[in-house]
Amino acid sequence: MHPAVRFLSLALLLSLAPALAAQNSVQEFRLGGVARILNEECIRLTPATPYVTGSAWFQNPMDLEYPFELTVDLVLGENNDLGADGIVFVFHPTMQTGYRGEGMGFAGLYPSLGIEFDTYQNIHLGDPVEDHVAVMVHGQLHHGRSLAGPTSVPNLENGGKRPLTVSWSPGTQTLQVTLDGELRASYTGDIIANVFGGNSKVYWGATAATGRKMNFQDVCIRKLVYALVD
C-alpha cells in the first residue's frame, strides 16, 4: 500500500464503539450555508425554508486512484407537490457551496462531478416529470450535459431514509450509484483525467437547496470505506 494512504472504515469503528464513532463521523464534516448537525448520524442540509442552500463536506480528501464505497441515507423531505429542490452528492477539489434553488448547491462548482437526486421538474433543464437521478459535471444542471441519466425514480419526498451507495472502481473506471437497493446510474470513464484534469485528490460531500418551494433535506452517515490522503 502507498505510504501516503490509509484506509478508513467507519463500519468497523461503529462495531467497536457505536456512539463515539457515529459522533466522530458527523463532526468530521465541514458545514456550509444553513447546514447543521441533527444527531450522531445525520446532518440537515436545508430546513423547510425557502431560498436557502447547505452543504456538508468530509474534511479529509480522498484519492481516486483507489476504490471507494460510500453508503449514506438521504432524506428528501415530506412535501411532494410543494417540495424542492433536491440533494447532490459531490466530488470537488475544494469544499464549497454552490447556488441555491435549482442549482441544489452544486451549480457553479468547477471542476466537479455530482450525482443528482432531483425532486422538482425544471423543464428548461431537461428534467423529467418524475423525481430523478443523474450524473453531472462541472456544476452544469442541464441534462443535455449529463454523463448518465436522468433516470426517473419513485417519489423521493416521503420523509423516509433512502439508502444510497456510491462506489468507484479505478481498475474498470466505473462509477455506480445504488439507491433503495437498485442500481440507478452507472458511468464508465476516466474521471481523473476527463473531469479533474489529472488531479486524483478530491473532497466529497453533499449539497442541497430550496427555492420558492422547499423541503427539509438530510444526509445520514452509514459506512465510509475509501483511501484518505495524509
Q: pLDDT at position 19, please? A: 32
Measured CA to CA, the distance from residue 183 to residue 189 in angstroms comes to 18
The owner of cell 452509514 is 222
Q: Which grid coordinates are listed for 24?
A: 466522530
CATH topology of domain 31-221: Jelly Rolls (2.60.120)
Query: Tens place of pLDDT for every residue, the chain, 230 residues?
Result: 443 444 444 443 333 333 323 334 789 999 999 999 999 999 999 999 999 999 999 999 999 999 999 999 999 999 998 999 999 999 999 999 999 999 999 999 999 999 999 999 999 999 999 999 999 999 999 999 999 999 999 999 999 999 999 999 999 999 999 999 999 999 999 999 999 999 999 999 999 999 999 999 999 999 888 877 76
- The pLDDT score that the predictor gives to residue 224 is 87
What Cα–Cα distance (Å) separates residue 204 from each residue in 29, 51, 114, 225?
A: 10, 24, 10, 13
- Domain extents in the chain: 31-221
Residue 156: name the closest of 130, 128, 182 by CA: 130
pLDDT for the residue 7 = 45
* Burial environment of residue 165 by CB neighbours within 10 A (0 to 12, 13 to 18, 19 or more): middle
